[in-house]
Copies of this chain bind each other. A is one copy, B any other.
Amino acid sequence: MSAEKSGKTTTVEAMLGLLSGGPLSGYEIKKRIGESIGNFWSESFGQIYPTLKRMVAEGLAKVEDDQGTGGRERKRYRLTDAGRNRLGEWLTLPAMDQVPRNELLLKLFFGNRAERDDMKKLVETKKAELSADLKRFEAIEARIAATYAGHPGLPYWLMTVRYGKAEAVGLIAWCDDCLGTFKEML
Residues of B within 8 A of A14 (CB): 106
Residues of B within 8 A of A107 (CB): 90-91, 95
A91-118: contact bitstring with B at CB < 8 Å (1 yes, 0 no)?
Answer: 1101111011111111111111111001
Contact between chains at B91 and A113 (CB < 8 Å): yes
Q: Does A155 contact B (CB under 8 A)?
A: yes
Question: Which of A48-56, A62-70, A119-127 lies at the interface?
Answer: A119-127
Contact partner of A108 among B103, B156, B167, B171, CB < 8 A?
Answer: B156
Q: What is the distance, in angstroms, from A153's C-beta to the closest C-beta of chain B? A: 4
Most chain B beta carbons < 10 A, residue from A38, A39, A103, A160: A103
A173 to B181, CA, bound (A): 25
Instruction: Look across to chain B and name the residue whose beta carbon is closest to the beta carbon of A164.
Output: B105
Residues of B within 8 A of A23 (CB): none
Could you show 16 A-B contacts with beta carbons less than 8 Å apart? Answer: A17-B106, A17-B109, A20-B113, A39-B99, A91-B114, A91-B118, A97-B102, A97-B103, A100-B100, A102-B163, A109-B156, A155-B184, A155-B185, A163-B174, A166-B174, A169-B170
